């Protein structure tokens, strides 16, 4: 939806300036009172809905950014494809969704969006979280005062104890008091951090609640339906974040490791230097834990005993991606054993101060570090192999895919700029070693020994050397390739809208094409030693392992137990380690 102007659009086209008072949702035009009257009686526009311009300006940004027409064909969005979870025009339906089974008129899907059970549940969930986080903030402040009192009591105990052992305590008192203060400071910082996170959740939910109220009052059914889907995902993220803070939500206590006893003073003096923080887990049940998506995050899968979950790190608040309303940006580090069981070695969250993070490309570097592309913030994010963020690298535009061409040197494609860059990320000041333009949008990139393999829209697959010299062009028929890989002189790629995986020779000759009902919107893929293909289904929320000849496949993971919509996957073949 375009942004309403305060000047009448038809009058302005006639070189007149009249203040606008109406907004036509169908035409996306501002209208003065006179043009609005004509709009209501003209045969072609009398069925259009006119809204007060002041009401339209009250719409939240999540509703204002929703397009009412097809970006590709400039036609009205009339159909909703449930398989791909997106609205489309009739032309898109014929071109991109011929095999989709769940599709229907958009007006029926969005009917009663504001009064639907789903929308009301979202409002209720948001309000519940506001209440919960408000109470938790207050409780945490009270707990802070309590441990401050405990600190004072401990200092008093130390000074009383000192009188009984004054000769021995002269040299020891200073060390002991410093340890108490230091431990209290650590506890203080940690509790303040928890309070800040709760405060952030509270403010986000208040903002969501305000958006929901405004959408219910001023937005159209389409805006409400699509806007609510986006906000529902944000609410689920906040719920997950609060669950991840469970360990920090209980009361803290400051205690000595050993009680004071004058008879054993000399023998236990060394242990008195250690002052511990007792963190009691928050045991009460949250209201939103009755929701199915919250339970899915909390409970391990029962029907898949081969998946052994080993959580070796603390779970922090989860951000959400614009690639899909269901995409959690929780990254998984997994190992693949010979029996196809994925053993989770580590989970960690790419957190930001803002609401969204849009990850599309990921890679495990030669030194074991993890690298991700952050599309919306035009940056690369680097994490050490223990899940600690080490660096954010700002880029000149929005990156999509990333691959390592040599140690600490990576290649990145920038679709909007039709550009590929090779960067040296070994030093604090990132160096652009090579930058070159492609003939059209570059939607995927991979690296094979000494050459870059790219997908160029409307052209095909092109190979470049690292200096940017075009080596070869392979003409292929594709719709929307999201990822590409090369193995044993063969190409593998995912066709997002056709829901299939293709294996072809270097000249474009198709070897096999794979598709199955339980693989929807295939996105990232990678190839194992034996030519087996691991591919993630973004809409189906799973990972399939396809045999080297494309004749069979096995689902090796349902990602809904961790996050609903995976986008990228990378396999480190030597260690059989997967980054998802």
DSSP-derived letter for residue 456 is: E
Q: b/e for 357-387, b at 16 or more Cβ within 10 A?
A: bbbbbbbbbeeebbbbbbbebebbbbbeeeb
Quote the pLDDT of residue 301. Answer: 37
Give the Cα separation of 86 and 80 in Å (integer).
6
Question: Percentage of the chain with pLDDT > 70?
Answer: 82
Quote the pLDDT of residue 393. Answer: 92
Give the Cα separation of 138 and 38 in Å (integer).
57
Quote the pLDDT of residue 269. Answer: 62
Mean pLDDT computed over 378-390: 86
Q: In angstroms, how far apart are the furthest CA atoms of the chain?
A: 102
Would you call 566 exposed, middle or buried from its count of C-beta atoms within 10 A (0-12, 13-18, 19+)? Answer: buried
pLDDT at 53 over 90: no
Mean pLDDT computed over 110-134: 86
Structure tokens at 99: 């095999």
Quote the pLDDT of residue 271. Answer: 63
Interval 25-43: pLDDT, tens: 778 788 999 898 888 888 8
Structure tokens at 238: 């906040």
Interval 237-255: pLDDT, tens: 888 888 888 878 888 888 8
SS (H, E, C) 338-364: CCCCEEEEEEEECCCCCCECCEEEEEE
Mean pLDDT computed over 514-535: 91
Quote the pLDDT of residue 234. Answer: 85
CB atoms within 10 A of CB 339: 7
Mean pLDDT computed over 331-360: 62
Q: Which run of H or E residues covers position 443?
A: strand 442-448
pTM (predicted TM-score): 0.47
Quote the pLDDT of residue 61. Answer: 61
Give the Cα separation of 371 and 381 in Å (integer).
6
Question: Percentage of the chain with pLDDT > 90?
Answer: 25
pLDDT at 546 over 90: yes
Tell me the domain boundaries of the chain: 9-95, 117-288, 300-579
Residue that wins the pLDDT comparison between 154 and 564: 154
Structure tokens at 379: 């940056």
pLDDT at 433 over 60: yes
In the structure, what pLDDT confidence band is assigned to residue 292 with cuts at 50, 70 and 90?
Answer: very low
Residue that wins the pLDDT comparison between 330 and 384: 384
Contact 579, 331 (CB under 8 A): yes
pLDDT at 580 over 80: yes
Interval 444-497: pLDDT, tens: 999 987 899 999 988 999 999 999 999 999 988 887 898 999 988 899 999 888
Mean pLDDT computed over 492-510: 90
pLDDT at 121 over 90: no
Give the range among 205-209, 345-349, 369-373 with minimum mean pLDDT. Answer: 345-349
Picking from 175, 179, 150, 158, the residue whose alpha carbon sits closest to that of residue 254 is 150
Interval 126-137: pLDDT, tens: 888 898 889 889
Mean pLDDT computed over 549-557: 91
Quote the pLDDT of residue 309. Answer: 33
Backbone angles phi and psi of 137, in degrees to 5: -60, -45
Quote the pLDDT of residue 363. Answer: 93
Give the Cα separation of 208 and 355 in Å (integer).
11
Q: Any idea which architecture 300-579 has in CATH?
A: 6 Propeller (2.120)
At a CB cut-off of 8 Å and minimum separation 6, what does 440 contact? 418, 456, 457, 458, 459
| Average pLDDT of the chain, as a whole number | 81
Structure tokens at 454: 């790219």
Contacts 24+ apart (CB under 8 A), 543-549: 543/342, 543/569, 543/580, 544/516, 544/518, 544/519, 545/340, 546/501, 546/514, 549/512
Contact 487, 471 (CB under 8 A): no
Quote the pLDDT of residue 65. Answer: 62
DSSP letters for 179-217: HHHHHHHHHHHHHHHHHHHHHHHHHHHHHHHHHHHHHHH
pLDDT at 304 over 60: no
Quote the pLDDT of residue 305. Answer: 33
Picking from 212, 226, 223, 62, the residue whose alpha carbon sits closest to that of residue 129 is 212
Q: How far is CA 537 from the centre of its chain?
A: 16
Residue that wins the pLDDT comparison between 335 and 361: 361
Interval 147-205: pLDDT, tens: 999 889 888 888 887 777 677 777 777 787 888 888 888 888 888 888 988 999 899 99
Please provide the size of the chain in residues: 580
Q: At what angle do helices 221-244 and 117-164 cross, to 10 degrees?
A: 20
| Helix, strand or coil, per DSSP, at residue 573 | coil
Contact 430, 402 (CB under 8 A): no
User: How many helices (H) and strands (E) in the chain?
Assistant: 13, 32
CA of 118: how far to CAs of 113, 125, 195, 447, 497, in Å? 8, 10, 30, 44, 27
Structure tokens at 111: 């009917």
pLDDT at 526 over 90: yes
- E strands, 89-170, in order: 103-105
| Helix, strand or coil, per DSSP, at residue 336 | strand
DSSP-derived letter for residue 309 is: B
Give the range among 171-175, 238-242, 417-421, 548-552 with minimum mean pLDDT. Answer: 171-175
Residue that wins the pLDDT comparison between 6 and 502: 502
Mean pLDDT computed over 532-540: 91
Give the Cα separation of 390 and 392 in Å (integer).
7
Determine the Cα angle at 418 with ends 354 and 321, to 5°.
25
Picking from 92, 96, 89, the residue whose alpha carbon sits closest to that of residue 67 is 89
At a CB cut-off of 8 Å and minimum separation 6, what does 506 contact? 472, 474, 489, 490, 491
Mean pLDDT computed over 324-332: 44
């Amino acid at each position: 939806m375009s942004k309403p102007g305060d000047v009448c659009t038809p009058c302005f086209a006639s070189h007149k300036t009249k203040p606008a008072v109406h907004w036509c949702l169908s035409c996306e035009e501002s209208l003065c009172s006179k043009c609005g009257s004509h709009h209501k009686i003209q045969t072609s526009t009398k069925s259009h809905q006119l809204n007060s311009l002041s009401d339209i300006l009250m719409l939240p940004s999540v509703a204002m950014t929703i397009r009412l027409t097809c970006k590709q064909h400039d036609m009205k969005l009339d159909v909703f494809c449930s398989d791909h979870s997106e609205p489309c025009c009739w032309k898109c339906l014929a071109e991109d969704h011929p095999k989709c089974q769940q599709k229907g008129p958009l007006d029926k899907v969005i009917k009663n969006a504001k009064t639907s059970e789903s929308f009301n549940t979202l409002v209720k969930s948001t309000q519940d979280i506001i209440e919960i986080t408000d109470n938790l903030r207050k409780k945490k402040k009270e707990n802070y005062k309590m441990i401050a009192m405990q600190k004072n009591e401990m200092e008093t105990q130390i000074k009383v104890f000192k009188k009984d052992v004054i000769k021995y305590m002269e040299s020891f008192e200073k060390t002991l008091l410093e340890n108490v203060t230091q431990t209290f400071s650590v506890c203080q910082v940690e509790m303040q951090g928890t309070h800040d996170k709760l405060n952030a959740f509270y403010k986000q939910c208040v903002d969501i609640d305000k958006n929901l109220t405004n959408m219910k009052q001023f937005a159209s059914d389409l805006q409400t339906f699509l806007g609510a889907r986006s906000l529902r995902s944000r609410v689920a993220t906040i719920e997950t974040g609060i669950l991840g803070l469970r360990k920090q939500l209980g009361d803290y206590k400051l205690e000595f490791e050993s009680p004071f006893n004058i008879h054993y003073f000399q023998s236990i003096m060394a242990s008195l230097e250690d002052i511990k923080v007792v963190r009691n887990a928050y045991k009460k049940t949250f209201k939103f834990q009755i929701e199915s998506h919250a339970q899915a995050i909390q409970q391990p899968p029962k029907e898949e005993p081969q998946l052994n979950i080993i959580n070796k790190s603390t779970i922090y608040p989860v951000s959400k991606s614009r690639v899909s309303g269901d995409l959690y940006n929780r990254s998984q580090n997994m190992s693949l054993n010979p029996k196809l069981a994925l053993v989770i070695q580590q989970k960690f969250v790419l957190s930001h101060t803002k609401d969204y993070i849009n990850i599309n490309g990921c890679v495990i570097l030669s030194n074991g570090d993890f690298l991700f592309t952050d599309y919306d913030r035009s940056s690369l994010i680097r994490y050490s192999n223990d899940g600690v963020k080490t660096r954010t690298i700002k880029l000149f535009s929005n990156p999509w895919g990333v691959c390592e061409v040599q140690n600490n040197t990576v290649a990145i494609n920038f679709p909007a700029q039709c550009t590929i860059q090779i960067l040296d990320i070994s030093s604090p000041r990132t160096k652009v070693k090579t930058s070159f333009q492609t003939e059209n949008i570059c939607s995927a990139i991979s690296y094979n020994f000494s050459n870059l393999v790219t997908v160029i829209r409307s052209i095909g697959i092109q190979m470049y050397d690292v200096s940017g010299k075009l080596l070869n062009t392979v003409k292929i028929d594709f719709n929307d390739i999201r990822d590409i890989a090369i193995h044993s002189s063969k190409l593998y790629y995912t066709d997002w809208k056709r829901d299939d995986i293709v294996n072809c020779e270097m000249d474009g000759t198709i070897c096999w094409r794979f598709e199955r009902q339980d693989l929807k919107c295939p996105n990232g893929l990678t190839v194992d030693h034996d030519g087996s293909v691991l591919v993630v289904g973004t809409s189906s929320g799973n990972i399939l392992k396809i045999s080297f000849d494309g004749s069979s496949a096995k689902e090796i993971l349902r990602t809904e137990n961790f996050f609903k919509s995976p986008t990228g996957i990378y396999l480190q073949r030597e260690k059989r380690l997967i980054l998802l």
